[in-house]
Structure 1
Amino acid sequence: MFKRILVATDGTALSKKAVDSAIALAVQNDSDLVALTVVPRYPKSYFEGSMSFSAEDIGRIEKQWADKAQAMLDKIRDRARERGVRIRTAQASSDLVAESIVAAAKKHRSDLIVMASHGRKGLKRLLLGSETQQVLVRSSLPVLVLR
């Protein structure tokens, strides 16, 4: 049914469950899997006037974040391959998480996006926002949301 599934993960326990479900779905459908994580950029504007970091320091911090994200993706790749799933990993560096997920799904010609949602409601959802909700709004692809 699905030829290529994109699973978005941030390394949290909840997104790990989404990864496990995406791997199982890929096994069931003999699908390719793309594991994606979006690494935020260093928030330079938060510290204007109070702390100064050099471009070199910011680059080092962002590289540490990217390396940590790649280690997480490597573990996902190994778990998927153990189950016989054809997988590729991808990393995006952006503060626009939902847009990055939708763009990656398009780039990799995915048929389905799998991701987790914390299921926040009311004021918490309004204040914290929901990347999952934004993906649902922006994507023309089916999105499987797991909690």
Structure 2
Amino acid sequence: MFNKIVVAVDGSALSLRALNKAVQLQALLPNVEIYLICVYKHHSLFEASLSIGRPVGMDIPDRVLSDYAKEVVIHAKEHAWQQGATHVRGFVRSGRPSRVIVKFASEKEADLIVVGTRGTHSDKDGILLGSVSHRVTSAAKCPVLVV
């Protein structure tokens, strides 16, 4: 049924609830692998240079966001293991979250994508721009479980 499950995590409580569902599925199905992915928005060097009052030694936004995304993945892996998960791998990517999640799932030949209903964005963003979970469900080639 499911062999590879991609779980999008962003540090929000809802993404951890999505992860919990994936761990529950893993407990029911033998040999399921869970792939965690945290996506951050890329900032160009030009965007980074627009900050006039940037202190000396301050990292460019991409480095800071990448480091934060790595921490999110580490925390999510620890959370999954505490919930009883066995095969969990973590990944960090940059780009538009919905596109990156769908592309990543395709590359990994995932059988299922699990996402939270909302992440760290406000309700207003979800209504006006379309939520990441909505975009993923529209573009994914495999089933998507929205938690």
Indicate whether the TM-score tops 0.5.
yes
Partner residue, 1:105: 105
1:35 alignment partner AA: L
What is the rounded CA distance, in whole Å, between the counterparts of 1:84 and 1:116 in structure 2?
A: 18
Assess if the C-alpha contact under 8 Å between 2:9 and 2:76 holds in 1: no
**Are the equivalent residues in 2 in contact too, given 1:3–1:110 (CA < 8 A)?**
yes
Q: Give the % identical residues.
A: 25
Is 1:134 the equivalent of 2:116?
Answer: no
Query: Which runs of no fewer than 5 residues in structure 1 stay unpaired?
Result: none
Q: Equivalent residues in 2 for 1:108-123 (5 A)?
A: 108-118=108-118
Q: Which residue of 2 is the match for residue 18 of structure 1?
A: 18
Separation of aligned partners in 2, 1:58 and 1:137: 38
Cα distance in 2 for partners of 1:78, 1:124 equals: 30
Please report the TM-score for the alignment, with normalisation by the length of structure 1. 0.79
Query: Residues of 2 paired with 1:66 and 1:144: CA distance?
Result: 26
Q: Alpha carbons of 1:76 and 1:125: their partners in 2 closer, same or farther (altered >3 Å)?
A: closer
**Counterparts of residues 56-67 of structure 1 (less than 5 Å):** 60-67=60-67
Q: Structure 1 residues 122-131 or 10-19, which shifts more?
A: 122-131
Q: TM-score, normalised by structure 2?
A: 0.79
Contact residue 39 and residue 65 of structure 1 kept, 8 A? yes
How many residues align structurally? 140
**CA shift in 2, pair 1:84/1:12, >3 Å:** closer
Structure 2 segments unaligned to the other structure (5+ residues): none
Against the structure 1 CA distance between its residues 126 and 78, is the aligned structure 2 distance closer, same or farther, given a 3 Å change threshold?
closer
d(CA) in 2 for partners of 1:125 and 1:78?
A: 28
Contact 1:80 1:86 in 2 (8 A): no
Q: 1:24 and 1:140 mapped to 2: Cα distance? A: 23
Letter in 2 for 1:61: P
Corresponding residue for residue 34 of structure 2: 33
TM-aligned CA deviation for residue 115 of structure 1: 0.3
CA distance in 2, matches of 1:57, 1:19: 36
